[in-house]
Amino acid sequence: MNFILIFLFIIFILEVLILGLLLSKITISIDNLEVETQNNRIYIDGMIIKLDIKLYRIIKILSIKFYMHYFKIFGIKIYYRKALKYDNRKQLGKKFLEFFERNKIKIKNLHLEFEYFKFNLNFGTENAITTSILTGMFSAVIVILLRKFVRKFDEENYSFKITPNYFNTNNFNMKFRSRINLQMIEVIGK
């Protein structure tokens, strides 16, 4: 009799955990991503990307912060080179592609939702025609993203500004902040 009660209790706990995972929410926050070019070199300043997984969309069970050269999980600082064992950026890119292919993660099937979206871009190329074409393309892509992934649009939380420089210099300055939500069931079920 006691064995049956213990077995039923274990089954109940497992069901609660599985249901909690299925009703979980993943939040990706991108704060202060600044990209700048100077003398044909790319500088990334102040990148903080935060990944939170909330059980039943309320209880935070995992929080990972990604910085420029390391990430923190449960307060422990882990450097990318040591954790992923790569020598250059091409190897890192290959490792990410292998991970997505091995786990059959298809980004195009995920239903994302932007909680807020702030984007500023100041750029120019050596050719004014190229700069104007790229300005239109960037604007169109951002409008399509906002239209597809925003439910309630307000100007305070969703904005973008693209400033083209028609001088004969190559420059690129970008500032980006966003929070993206997706449901755990979409990641598990796809």
Tens of pLDDT, residues 106-133? 555 667 788 888 989 998 888 888 889 9
Alpha carbon 76 to chain centroid, angstroms = 21
111 domain-assigned: yes
Tokens in use for 12? 């109940």
89 domain-assigned: no
**pLDDT, average across residues 135-144:** 91
Separation in Å, CA 91 to CA 50, 59, 79, 82, 85:
23, 36, 16, 13, 9
pTM above 0.85, yes or no: no
Number of residues assigned to the chain: 190
97 domain-assigned: no
85 domain-assigned: no
If you average pLDDT over every residue of the chain, what do you get?
A: 80
Separation in Å, CA 20 to CA 10, 96, 150:
15, 28, 25
The tally of domains found in the chain comes to 1
Partners of residue 7 on adjacent β-strands: none
Distance CA 66, CA 145 (A): 24
The pLDDT of residue 145 is above 90: no
92 domain-assigned: no
**pLDDT, average across residues 35-46:** 76
Question: Residue written as tokens 């990410």?
Answer: 96
Tell me the pairing of strands 158-165 and 113-124. parallel
Tokens in use for 176? 């980006």
Question: Residue written as tokens 């102040």?
Answer: 46
Element (DSSP H or E) covering residue 184: helix 184-189
Range of the structural domain that residue 144 is part of: 25-41+106-190
144, with CB counted inside 10 A (0-12, 13-18, 19+), is: exposed
- Say which residue, 57 or 174, is predicted with more confidence: 174
64 domain-assigned: no
Quote the pLDDT of residue 137: 93
Residue 150: closest CA among 183, 186, 178: 178
139 domain-assigned: yes
**pLDDT, average across residues 34-55:** 79
Tell me the pairing of strands 59-66 and 70-73. antiparallel
